[in-house]
Amino acid sequence: MTALTTAALPRHRVRATRDSGRRTRSALLDAAAELFGEHGLAGVSLAGIAARADAFPSQVTYYFGSKEALFVEAASREVLHLASRVEAAGSRARSHAAYARALTRVALGSPAMLAFAEAMLLARHRPELSPLVTRTLDRLHAEGARAVRARCREMGWPLRGSGEDVARHFWAAVLGLVLERAASGESFDARAAQAAILATLGIDHAPARTASRRT
């Protein structure tokens, strides 16, 4: 449907057409995230994504342009969803160590970060995909900074440096650890990973200490 044709339609018809387009686009992203998670980029076809979303292959290219662009957008969306889950997990922690453990467990336990790492590498060779990756990173850091500042204020934890620095270092550390785990497999040291995240958060929280008794 052309812009001229759309402009000539009644307003409610235009709105219905746009709503339908948004639903189709969302369904394609949902289907793509599932299939890419199951089979990887190379193991998924446009036809397979369309079939899972109850759409046509032409609609994939209409909304996203290419399978690679759809992969990057799906990976970007999933990593932002992961960030929301990480924030929710941290909001329930009552100590610095529990906060770091919660964030680490959720961030490293999701396949979203590895998929986003693959999207970043893909964008390196496809410059037209770089802006979406950059916007996703900017949003990841901005929302992370907001979350860590809010949690520190709520718990009375002094924060070394800016929230932006903490968020940037946290996600960079998570990304590095995810890649390390993918490469090392069973030899990955989860305890060392947790310690790395704990240090990266930079929350200077000194719990009260009880005086030691000499025997």
- Residue 60's pLDDT is 94
- Residue 208's pLDDT is 38
Nearest-CA neighbor of 4 among 15, 18, 14? 14
- Residue 17's pLDDT is 63
- Residue 10's pLDDT is 59
Q: How many CB atoms lie within 10 A of CB 38?
A: 9
CA dist., res. 20 & res. 30, Å (int) = 15
Residue 100 main-chain phi, psi, to 5 deg: -65, -40
First to last CA, the chain: 85
DSSP string, the chain: --HHHHHHS-HHHHHHHHHHHHHHHHHHHHHHHHHHHHHTTTT--HHHHHHHTTS-HHHHHHHHSSHHHHHHHHHHHHHHHHHHHHHHHHHT--SHHHHHHHHHHHHHH-THHHHHHHHHHHHHH-GGGHHHHHHHHHHHHHHHHHHHHHHHHHHT--BSS-HHHHHHHHHHHHHHHHHHHHHHGGG--HHHHHHHHHHHH-B------PPPPP-
CA dist., res. 44 & res. 67, Å (int) = 9
- Residue 116's pLDDT is 97
- Residue 12's pLDDT is 44
- Residue 188's pLDDT is 81
- Residue 198's pLDDT is 76
- Torsion, Cα of 68, 73, 74, 80 (10° steps): 150
- Residue 197's pLDDT is 79
Q: Give the CA distances from residue 35 to residues 4, 30, 53, 167, in Å, rounded to whole numbers and listed in that order.
A: 36, 9, 11, 30
Instruction: Say if pTM beats, i.e. exceeds, 0.75.
Output: yes
Per-residue pLDDT 10s for the chain (215 aa) are 444 445 555 554 445 468 889 999 999 999 999 999 999 999 999 999 999 999 999 999 999 999 999 999 999 999 999 999 999 999 988 887 788 888 888 998 999 999 999 999 999 999 999 999 999 999 999 999 999 999 989 998 888 778 899 899 999 999 999 998 899 887 888 778 777 777 777 665 444 343 333 33
